[in-house]
Amino acid sequence: MKRIIILGLVLLLASVSTVLADDGYNNYGEVNQTGTNNFAYQEQGSSTYDTNIAYIDQYGTSNSASQYQVYSPPGGPNYAYKYQSGTGNVGYQTQIGHDNVALDYQIGYYNWDSQYQDGESHYAYIYELGAYNWAAQEQYGAYNYATIYQDGAYNGAYQVQWGAFNTADIYQSGVDNYAEQWQIGAFHYAQATQIGGPNNYSHQEQWNSSNTSYVNQSGQGSYAYVYQY
């Protein structure tokens, strides 16, 4: 068992902070910081044989990133990557299980996001470009795939998947849009695209199995609700 704590790291004459906590074996964690007042936290481990891989890259000012991984056998390693460039971005990633992949990119100002994976072989991806956007994704089960892309400001997105082999995608470009997608069961596909704004709203729910739905909205003040069961 080993635990490493590094505080007050000075890099390129900038004030940054890093905490690395590693309880277990065969974990790999790396943090790279360039800028001022950035904070990074990574924790890896479990009570069994561990295999986790995690990276954080931060460029800019006052960004905060946190990653937590717990490996549970059998299977391959969990992989998490976090990239922040700009000011005041906040991101969280949690992985419990094995063979999960979480990728998170924040470029801009004061964006917030979170990804949570519990199970095996999930894939989650968030890309935020702009300011004051927020996004969250949750995955439970196995082999779920979820992506969120937001370009603009004050957009919000939320996706949750329970089950297996579900796919959910949200794309938003503009101002003050919100999209939400729920998938419960297996083999669902949901996609939401909103361009423009403000005040576009999309909500999709899928239950049981093998449902497919699309929402495409361009303009402002549009509302869409899809319920499949």
Provide the whole-model pTM: 0.90
Side-chain-side CA neighbours of 75 within 13 Å: the count stands at 19
114 and 148 both lie in a single domain: no
Q: Are 10 and 114 found together in one domain?
A: yes
Is the pLDDT reported for residue 28 higher than 60? yes
Strand order in the sheet with 28-36: 28-36, 52-61, 78-87, 101-109, 123-131, 145-153, 167-175, 189-196, 212-219
The domain containing residue 84 runs over which residues?
A: 1-121
Listed residues 92, 121, 150: the one ending a domain: 121
Q: Look at residue 81 and tell me whether its pLDDT is greater than 80.
A: yes
* Same domain membership, residue 146 and residue 222: yes
Same domain, 148 and 227: yes
Total domains in the chain come to 2
Domain boundary among 75, 92, 121: 121
Q: What is the full DSSP assignment across 51-83?
A: -EEEEEEEEEES-EEEEEEEE-SSS--EEEEEE
Does 110 share its domain with 75?
A: yes
Looking at the fold, whether 21 and 115 belong to one and the same domain comes out as yes
pLDDT in tens, 113-168: 999 999 999 999 999 999 999 999 999 999 999 999 999 999 999 999 999 999 99
**60 and 15 inside one domain:** yes
**Whether 15 and 108 share a structural domain:** yes
Residue 128 within any structural domain of the chain: no
What 8-state DSSP symbol labels residue 141? Answer: E
Q: Are residues 159 and 198 in the same domain?
A: yes
Q: Is residue 60 part of a domain?
A: yes
Counting Cα atoms < 13 Å in the Cβ hemisphere of 227 gives 1
Residues 150 and 112 in one domain: no
Mean pLDDT of the residues in the chain: 90
Q: Are residues 32 and 4 in the same domain?
A: yes
